[in-house]
Amino acid sequence: MTAAGFVSVVGRPNVGKSTVVNALVGEKIVITSPRPQTTRNTIRGVATNAETQLVLVDTPGLHKPRNILGERLNTLVYGSIAEADAALFVLDAAQPIGPGDRLIAERLAESGSPVVVAVNKTDRASRAEILGQLERAGEWDFNAFVPISALRGDGIEAVRDELEPLMPEGPFFFPPDMSSDQPDRFLAAERVREKYLARLREELPHSLAVVVDDIEERDSGSLYIAASVYVERASQKGMVIGKGGELIKAVGEEARRELEHLFGVPIYLDLRAKVEKDWQRRDETLDRLGF
Ligand SMILES: Nc1nc2c(ncn2[C@@H]2O[C@H](COP(=O)(O)OP(=O)(O)OP(=O)(O)O)[C@@H](O)[C@H]2O)c(=O)[nH]1
Ligand SMILES: [Mg+2]
């Protein structure tokens, strides 16, 4: 008999949720970055063993919303918790448990779902910090508490071992060799955004949205992908293009290489910068950009 279920991966921004999802899946399917609020959608990654399929739902970091986008993201997370069979609550080993973590813990407790707590980034914390964090988290009435380093892959098996028995018996939701349910256009847009997040400073990353407008197979077996890079103000357009088009070219080149690896075919990636005034604050643009 097989078992399969959904695991909502939740926590504050930047604690490493997406890195944990990639580690569990064993493949990079969601983007990560040192900037908070990298993840903006609930993205499913699939990790299948002989008997059990975990459908991991990566979520945006829960935070105090500053605009409609922020409110929509938080609503997504709460919805994801409600729909899941279990939650994986990720904490940063080196950061004290704060009001944000306590709020998430309360919501999880209310949901009644089983919860596994992962204390992440142990490679960056002292032994005392890790033990302290496990002890404080241990005051919550959750199922298991596991120290991990998602970056190094430490503790990932232990997390799997804790999650698997929590999955209900039943058939797999996805074919066992499938690692993500995301459409190619979304994966492509996210890779472009990730390359920008790595290169842009402070507030600009939050103003960025990437949309794939066109994706076509060419006769030669290659893929043609056209994507728009949206910013919120005319003054930001030059920043994403760079002097003489240098930045947009470099980002396009890096994203193209990773996408060729991901899709296994030659890729032609065409990037255009566009201004969409205050897109994060308007329902109409949020709908159109796919949030
Ligand atoms: N040292 C160390 N860094 C880590 C570890 N896990 C994640 N990181 C880094 O922490 C940063 C944030 O990781 P993400 O996986 O993007 O975090 P997230 O929780 O998904 O962030 P949001 O989507 O913005 O909420 C990235 O720079 C990761 O490389 C870890 O185990 N050790
Ligand atoms: Mg993330």
Number of domains forming the structure of the chain: 2
**pLDDT(284) > 90:** no
pLDDT band at 108 (very low <50, low <70, confident <90, very high): very high
Within-domain flag for 175: no
**pLDDT(254) > 90:** yes
Considering the domain architecture, whether residues 65 and 156 belong to the same structural domain is answered as yes
Q: Which residue has the tokens 């996805």?
A: 174
Q: How far is the CA of 250 from the centre of ligand 2 (A)?
A: 23
Considering the domain architecture, whether residues 251 and 149 belong to the same structural domain is answered as no
Reported pTM: 0.92
Residue nearest to atom 32 of ligand 1 (CA): 121
Strand, helix or coil for residue 252: helix
Ligand 1 atom having least distance to the Cα of 11: 19
Q: Say yes or no: CB of residue 285 within 6 Å of ligand 1.
A: no
- C-beta of residue 168 within 8 angstroms of C-beta of residue 85: yes
Mean per-residue pLDDT, 163-181: 95
Considering the domain architecture, whether residues 191 and 155 belong to the same structural domain is answered as no
Residue nearest to atom 11 of ligand 1 (CA): 34
Q: Say yes or no: CB of residue 19 within 6 Å of ligand 1.
A: yes
Within-domain flag for 132: yes
Considering the domain architecture, whether residues 120 and 80 belong to the same structural domain is answered as yes
Within-domain flag for 176: no
What is the residue range of 276's domain?
Answer: 184-288
Tokens of residue 280, six digits: 């994060």
High-pLDDT (> 70) share of the chain, %: 100
Considering the domain architecture, whether residues 30 and 137 belong to the same structural domain is answered as yes
Within-domain flag for 178: no
Considering the domain architecture, whether residues 161 and 280 belong to the same structural domain is answered as no
Q: How far is the CA of 23 from the centre of ligand 2 (A)?
A: 13
Rounded CA-CA distance 201/267 in Å is: 28
pLDDT band at 223 (very low <50, low <70, confident <90, very high): very high
Rounded CA-CA distance 31/13 in Å is: 13
Considering the domain architecture, whether residues 162 and 188 belong to the same structural domain is answered as no
Within-domain flag for 179: no
What is the predicted pLDDT for the residue at 146?
98
Ligand 1 atom having least distance to the Cα of 13: 25
Q: What's the CATH code of the domain at 202? A: 3.30.300.20
* Bridge partners of residue 269, in order along the sequence: 225
Considering the domain architecture, whether residues 104 and 66 belong to the same structural domain is answered as yes
**How do residues 39-98 score in pLDDT, each as one tens digit?**
988 889 999 998 999 999 999 998 888 888 888 888 889 989 999 999 999 999 999 999
Q: How far is the CA of 10 from the centre of ligand 2 (A)?
A: 9
Q: Say yes or no: CB of residue 59 within 6 Å of ligand 1.
A: no
What is the predicted pLDDT for the residue at 72?
86
Considering the domain architecture, whether residues 132 and 201 belong to the same structural domain is answered as no
Within-domain flag for 103: yes
Mean per-residue pLDDT, 195-214: 88
Q: Which H, E and C letters describe 10-28, residue by residue?
A: ECCCCCCHHHHHHHHHCCC
